[in-house]
A and B are shown apart, each in its own frame.
Chain A
Amino acid sequence: MERPIAYDKLAREDRFVRMRTRDVGTLKIEQGLPPFPDLATRESMRDRVHGILVGELQAMEGAGRTVYDFPEAPWEFTVDMARQVWDESRHVETYLGLLDHLGGRVGEFPETTLLWRCACAEDAAARVAGVNRGLEGLACDVFNQLIHIAKKIDDPVLERSVDYVLADEITHVRMGSRWLNELTRGDPERRRRAIEFQDSIDDRFNLGGQRRDGHHDDVPISIAKDARRLAGFTEEEIQRLVKSTQRSQVY
């Protein structure tokens, strides 16, 4: 089997419509919609949950590729990535159920592949930095907000389901924190490149500028500082992320 594979080899049932993240955002803005679903309507909630569903699929696929692509990596790293595959497969099941719960269907919204592209990084350290710490860290922020909104609209199914998934995501970020350190031990240049990759993700994928520092009631998506601390982020890293959200690009 090819190792690694080109990102355009990601296989999907034809019910999925794949588009570029930027194109989807532009088309929404042209129609007066926020580029990232704001959860203000039922359709917007379905859009968000569908986006998370395909993100979980891509996370499962990415972790699966990491199990295959790095046979020389430490065995414990491979075991952690295999565990993540299983977790993500259960998250897919959870979000399939939540999509149904909200009256949606698989393929109802376009699939963008930003997570998958990050998962195709050629260096294992960059993958865990970018996917586990960057994107799964971002997932912590998004899930935290979803739980907050579920409580507000009194939807215990949504609230509890996402809360269980959030616990796993914190574990995955923690794995990323561990393996970023271990894989780059004694190789500062490799570590610098991996962290740079993660920072580029934090800078670029800022949920339409909605992710901010502040309480849920004050900002659209609050940075989940407690979850990030649990996951091994340092105070310095959290502050750097807060600063990056103040100067992010749109998407």
Chain B
Amino acid sequence: MRVLGGWIALTPELPAKLLFGRHVWDCAQHADLWGRRLPELRALGQQSEPAGPAVVRLLDLIETAEAAGRTVERITAIYRVLKPHLATVYERHLAVANPVYEPPTRRILARAIVEERRHAAAGAIVLERLIAADRTLADRADTWERRVLDALAAARGVTGDVETPLVTPPGTPPDPVEVAGDLVPAPPPFDPAAALGELAAPLDAHRRALERGDTEALRTTLAPEAGPDVASAYAGLPGPFARTEVVGCARIGRQRVVKLWLDNPRGRVVLQERWLPSAAGWRIVAVEVTRAEPGP
């Protein structure tokens, strides 16, 4: 619950962000139900501690996936390993929980099993969509899954005494309709042609100038009111660029703010330009390098 909550802000992809957002409350309710059950079993309510230092190391490892671009590792750890493991542990507990003495525990287990399996299935769908867009992510997911599973094995599961296998598939797959309820339909991908409209043609010429590193051509697209810092910003770009792409376009009245990726082997520069229409055509009045990432 806490880790998913913390990751929401750090995760750029909307489907993953909203997946985490959907599940934090379910996880909180599971924890709350267990916490309320504890005093009924002569333990302190709403208090918990890890089963051992290896469990702490496992969770520390999972939390290391906080750097930008590690969404695949986040989903893998929680949805391929931790949640299926919890469901596995709960199912074994339910199988031996006495139906006469332990219905309160059995009810919590039954609910948590259904929800953890459903979460895992929803996470698998989001992960598969991310991987489908970039197959190199599949290797990263597999590698991270092995690493987290190793840490889980070293801890002997979350309770420190779980017999192998630590993760078993569900006896009955979750209802696809229920799983779909955990997924927010992703908005359509950004369509530059539709977003740019009449700015598309001038921007196309501008992109080609950026790719060539043609500062003279770039200069002709600047509005008269653009300050010297704008020309300097273009002169300072580490061009030429092998590839440019329009990835965003926002409107402020008649003006447009266009976001561009500029890629070359040295890395990626993300540029945000403000364009305004004039009698001479669309012109750039402001520019800002919002991000620079080193190449692979």
Binary A-proximity of B1-33 (CB < 8 A = 1, otherwise 0):
111111111111110011011101111110010
Residues of B within 8 A of A65 (CB): 5-6, 8-9
Evaluate whether A27 and B255 lie within 8 angstroms (CB atoms) in the complex, with A11-B9, A89-B21 already known: yes
Q: Which one of B97-105, B161-169, B242-250 is at the interface? A: B242-250
Evaluate whether A64 and B46 lie within 8 angstroms (CB atoms) in the complex, with A13-B14, A89-B18, A96-B184 already known: no
**Nearest Cβ in chain B — how far from A168, in angstroms?**
12
- Among B7, B25, B248, B272, the residue within 8 A (CB) of A83 is B25
**Nearest Cβ in chain B — how far from A81, in angstroms?**
8
Does B261 count as interface, using CB distance less than 8 angstroms? Answer: yes
**Nearest Cβ in chain A — how far from B129, in angstroms?**
14
CB pair A109–B252 under 8 Å, yes or no, is: yes
Does A85 count as interface, using CB distance less than 8 angstroms? Answer: yes
Does A232 count as interface, using CB distance less than 8 angstroms? Answer: no
Residue from B12, B185, B248, B272 having most chain A Cβ neighbours under 10 A: B248
Evaluate whether A106 and B272 lie within 8 angstroms (CB atoms) in the complex, with A67-B2, A67-B6 already known: no
Does A75 count as interface, using CB distance less than 8 angstroms? Answer: yes
CB pair B253–A14 under 8 Å, yes or no, is: no
CB pair A1–B3 under 8 Å, yes or no, is: yes
Residues of A within 8 A of B17 (CB): 11, 57, 60-61
The B contact surface, by secondary structure, is mixed
Evaluate whether A71 and B6 lie within 8 angstroms (CB atoms) in the complex, with A13-B12, A17-B248 already known: no
Binary B-proximity of A108-130 (CB < 8 A = 1, otherwise 0):
11110000100000000000000
Residues of A within 8 A of B247 (CB): 14-15
Q: How far is the CA of A93 from the CA of B182 in the complex (A)?
A: 11
CB pair A86–B22 under 8 Å, yes or no, is: yes
Q: How far is the CA of A106 from the CA of B68 in the complex (A)?
A: 21
Does B118 count as interface, using CB distance less than 8 angstroms? Answer: no
- Among A93, A109, A116, the residue within 8 A (CB) of B18 is A93
Q: Which one of B81-89, B142-150, B187-195, B205-213 is at the interface? A: B187-195
| CB within 8 Å of B: which A149-164 residues | none
Binary A-proximity of B169-203 (CB < 8 A = 1, otherwise 0):
00000000000000011011011001100000000
Does B259 count as interface, using CB distance less than 8 angstroms? Answer: yes
**Nearest Cβ in chain A — how far from B115, in angstroms?**
13
**Nearest Cβ in chain B — how far from A21, in angstroms?**
12
Residue from B6, B22, B251 having most chain A Cβ neighbours under 10 A: B6
The A contact surface, by secondary structure, is helix
CB pair A110–B21 under 8 Å, yes or no, is: no
Does B54 count as interface, using CB distance less than 8 angstroms? Answer: no
Evaluate whether A31 and B253 lie within 8 angstroms (CB atoms) in the complex, with A1-B63, A105-B187 already known: yes
Binary A-proximity of B48-79 (CB < 8 A = 1, otherwise 0):
00000000000000010010100000000000
| CB within 8 Å of B: which A8-27 residues | 9-19, 24, 27
Does A92 count as interface, using CB distance less than 8 angstroms? Answer: yes
| CB within 8 Å of B: which A69-116 residues | 69, 71, 75, 78-79, 81-83, 85-86, 88-89, 92-93, 96, 99-100, 105-111, 116
**Nearest Cβ in chain A — how far from B63, in angstroms?**
5
Does A251 count as interface, using CB distance less than 8 angstroms? Answer: no
- The 22 listed contacts between A and B (C-beta, < 8 Å) are A1-B3, A9-B10, A13-B12, A17-B249, A17-B272, A24-B252, A27-B252, A27-B274, A31-B252, A31-B253, A60-B8, A67-B28, A69-B6, A75-B32, A75-B46, A79-B32, A85-B21, A89-B22, A96-B184, A105-B188, A106-B14, A109-B252
- What 10 A-B pairs have minimum CB-CB distances, sorted nearest first? A68-B6, A89-B21, A67-B5, A86-B25, A82-B28, A64-B8, A61-B9, A64-B5, A17-B250, A31-B253
Binding site for A on B (CB under 8 A): 1-14, 17-18, 20-22, 24-29, 32, 35, 46, 63, 66, 68, 184-185, 187-188, 190-191, 194-195, 247-255, 257, 259, 261, 270, 272, 274, 290
